[in-house]
Amino acid sequence: MSERLVGALRAEFGEAILDSDDHRGDHHVTVDKGRLLDVLGHLRHREGCGMLADVVGVDYPDRPERFDVIYYLRSVERPEQIWVRTRVEEGEEVPSATAHWRSADWHEREVYDLFGVPFSGHPDLRRILCHHEFEGHALRKDYPVELGQELQETEKLFSDHDVARAAHRASLAQNPEGQGDEIAATDLLTINLGPSHPAMHGCLRAECLLDGETIVDARAEIGYLHRCFEKEAEDHTWAAVMPYTDRLNYCSPMLNNVIYAEAVEKLIGVEVPERGQVIRVIVSELSRIIDHLVCVGTNLVDMGALTMYWYTFNVREAMYQIIEGLCGSRLTTNYARIGGLSHDLYPGFEEEVREKLKMLEESIHDVVKLAARNRIFLDRAVGVGAISREDAIDFGFTGPALRACGVEYDARKMHPYLGYEDYDFDIPTGEDGDTHARIMVRMAEMIQSKRIIEQALDRLPDGPINVDDASVILPPKEQVYGSIEGVMNQFKLIYEGIQVPAGTAYGFGEGGNGELGFYCISDGTGHPYRIKVRPPCFPIFGAYAHLIRGGMISDAIATLGSLNIIAGELDR
């Protein structure tokens, strides 16, 4: 469907569209830098690509126009997406898309931080993942992967000047007539929520200016768990990136494994046999359930409901036992392989899963019964941290947080992969986009995941789990130990890596928190040229300061829990 967009752009902008290409169904257009904002605005307002889902930087040191800056736009109503690329030289400015989307703020800061591409008209162009004293730009090809830079002191997010301005604004808001007491800057208390705070879920930081318990102003800061996934990926073979994906969203590693494998398979052009696909669906949905259980459980603890925590964590422990049986570890699963899976299911898997799904249903039932009409829970959750549908799209929300605002976007339905079109399931949505709606959507999604798993178990076919292609999948051990071809094959795949043909592909799926995607560029060697993760948490946390401003400090905690931000994925 997305060709339509390319045609529309050519008709509207003619010469300014320098070039267009189609990488395995992903449509890219290259535009003249001077018309970039017009093109983006046109796509947004006329063509229904309402969401700026990501901005990707790529470095080609041998080209005179060294950097590609690629804007990834998508519609949340139709299965349409397009990548708008512009090319710039070292030091040349790109006009900032913050004019059109608020999500552009953080995405562009990231490109600035890691590639050193400046954006003109950006309101707050600072580093975001690396610390403020970092020198150089880490994702440039000439930056050595191991060159660390120490930091002695943490950056303050509010200057004295900012505090004074915030105090002034707060006074005006309280007494517009100019009567009554002024709030002085010294009345405001600056506190750091995080990055090491028991109530923050991981190392996230929000600096808040408080007037009493009200948050007058807040700023969020990330990068405290920046483990350089994208740089590490360029330093490894395609297959060796898999364990790193475990540690992106460590609450649902299976989903990362599977979606990463899908992305690389799209680039190679192979498809996993049906049994492999069905197993992938099962483990993905189990992982989603675990993710939601952790999120809901800890969120409720934040509101003081410890009982529900035990209910959710008991089932989670039970689910972990399945995962552990399947791949030997609970957290760092490393189960999917490019072209298949590391091994088949264990005997008795099906019965165990069915039994534990029953447990899940009971516990969800219990939690809903305890929460649904619980006065404390409702007071703490209804209307708290609410975001409107338009704002959510503007900020680039996907997943349960977007569906809680009533937008039915789910990658499994809109762009089916792994055969999701053959399963019967619903997309639960909410209305108010608040903490309550987000929790309820997650609860309902677990029931849908359970339905999917049951259907998958019913249809689980016999047959191979891996593609039959010796250039992708490691040979069976008998061959490695028994024949010279087997040894050679194993040796080449391990040392040189899978030879992925040159090209670009964006593989994505529905992660625990929303659209999780891997934008992969191969130059035909055994190593990725560039992998850009589209982490669902990143744009969502980008809206955090907006969500908590003006609210109570305790609500900030409840809101954060319901957004389910996982630092490993956020900072990569």
Partner 1 sequence: MAIESGQSNSALTTRLQQAVNWGRKYSLWPIPYGTACCAIEFMASVSSYHDLSRYGAELVRFSPRQSDLMIVAGTISYKQAPILKTIYAQMCEPKWVIAMGVCASSGGFYKNYGTLQGTDRVIPTDMYVAGCPPTPENLFHGLMKLQDKIDRDGIVSSEDRHGARARVEG
Under the rule (CB under 8 A), what is the footprint of partner 1?
129-131, 138, 143-154, 195-196, 198, 202-203, 223-228, 231-232, 243-244, 246-247, 250-251, 313, 317, 330-332, 567-568, 571
For the CB of residue 248, give the shortest distance to ligand SF4 in the complex, in Å: 11
- In degrees, rounded to 5, the angle at the alpha carbon of residue 541 between the alpha carbons of residues 537 and 544 is 155
User: What values do phi and psi take at 124, rounded to 5?
Assistant: -155, 65
> Residue 204 corresponds to which tokens in the numbers above?
């996230």
Q: Which is nearer to partner 1, 84 or 336 (CB)?
A: 336
Q: Which is nearer to ligand SF4, 247 or 534 (CB)?
A: 247
Q: Which is nearer to partner 1, 298 or 499 (CB)?
A: 298
Q: Which is nearer to ligand SF4, 218 or 336 (CB)?
A: 336
For the CB of residue 399, give the shortest distance to ligand SF4 in the complex, in Å: 23
d(C-alpha 7, C-alpha 3), whole Å: 6
Answer yes or no whether residue 337 interacts with ligand SF4 by CB under 6 A.
Answer: no
- Neighbouring C-beta atoms of residue 68, cutoff 10 Å: 22
From partner 1, ligand SF4, none, interface partner of 224 (C-beta below 5 to 8 A by class) = partner 1
In three-state secondary structure terms, 476 is coil
Q: Distance of CA 11 to CAs 17, 39, 303, 392, Å?
A: 10, 12, 54, 31
Number of residues located near ligand SF4, criterion CB under 6 A? 2
Q: Which is nearer to ligand SF4, 50 or 535 (CB)?
A: 535
Place of tokens 């049986």: 325
Q: Which is nearer to partner 1, 410 or 571 (CB)?
A: 571
From ligand SF4, partner 1, none, interface partner of 143 (C-beta below 5 to 8 A by class) = partner 1
d(C-alpha 247, C-alpha 210), whole Å: 35
133: left (phi over 0), alpha (psi -120 to 50) or beta: alpha
Residue nearest to ligand SF4 (CB): 247
For the CB of residue 243, give the shortest distance to ligand SF4 in the complex, in Å: 9
Q: Which is nearer to partner 1, 314 or 499 (CB)?
A: 314
User: What values do phi and psi take at 566, rounded to 5?
Assistant: -110, 115
Q: Which is nearer to partner 1, 120 or 149 (CB)?
A: 149
Q: Which of 17, 11, 117, 103 is nearest to 57 (CA)?
A: 117
Q: Distance of CA 405 to CAs 409, 431, 439, 540, Å?
A: 11, 5, 12, 13
From ligand SF4, partner 1, none, interface partner of 543 (C-beta below 5 to 8 A by class) = none
> Residue 482 corresponds to which tokens in the numbers above?
């028994």
For residue 404, the number of C-alpha atoms closer than 13 Å in the C-beta half-sphere is 32
For the CB of residue 309, give the shortest distance to partner 1 in the complex, in Å: 10
For the CB of residue 404, give the shortest distance to partner 1 in the complex, in Å: 25
For the CB of residue 132, give the shortest distance to partner 1 in the complex, in Å: 9
For the CB of residue 140, give the shortest distance to partner 1 in the complex, in Å: 11
ω into residue 118 within 30 of 0, thus cis? no
For the CB of residue 146, give the shortest distance to ligand SF4 in the complex, in Å: 17
Q: Which is nearer to ligand SF4, 247 or 316 (CB)?
A: 247
For the CB of residue 247, give the shortest distance to ligand SF4 in the complex, in Å: 5
Contacts of 455 (CB under 8 A, 6+ apart): 423, 424
From partner 1, ligand SF4, none, interface partner of 165 (C-beta below 5 to 8 A by class) = none
For the CB of residue 550, give the shortest distance to ligand SF4 in the complex, in Å: 36
In three-state secondary structure terms, 129 is coil
From ligand SF4, partner 1, none, interface partner of 112 (C-beta below 5 to 8 A by class) = none
CA–chain centroid gap for 572, Å, is 10
Task: Give one DSSP letter per residue of 138-187, joined into a string.
Answer: TTSTTS-TT------SPPPSS-HHHHHHHHHHHHHHH-TTS-SPPPPGGG
Q: Which is nearer to partner 1, 329 or 374 (CB)?
A: 329
For the CB of residue 343, give the shortest distance to partner 1 in the complex, in Å: 20
Q: Which is nearer to partner 1, 503 or 535 (CB)?
A: 535
From ligand SF4, partner 1, none, interface partner of 105 (C-beta below 5 to 8 A by class) = none
Task: Please pick, from the candidates 247, 280, 337, 530, the single residue that binds ligand SF4 as defined by CB under 6 A.
Answer: 247
Q: Which residues 274-333 are close enough to bind ligand SF4 by CB under 6 A?
A: 332
Judge contact between 504 and 25, C-beta under 8 A: no
d(C-alpha 115, C-alpha 88), whole Å: 11
Judge contact between 330 and 324, C-beta under 8 A: yes
d(C-alpha 532, C-alpha 522), whole Å: 12
Which spans of this chain sit near ligand SF4 (rule: CB under 6 A)? 247, 332
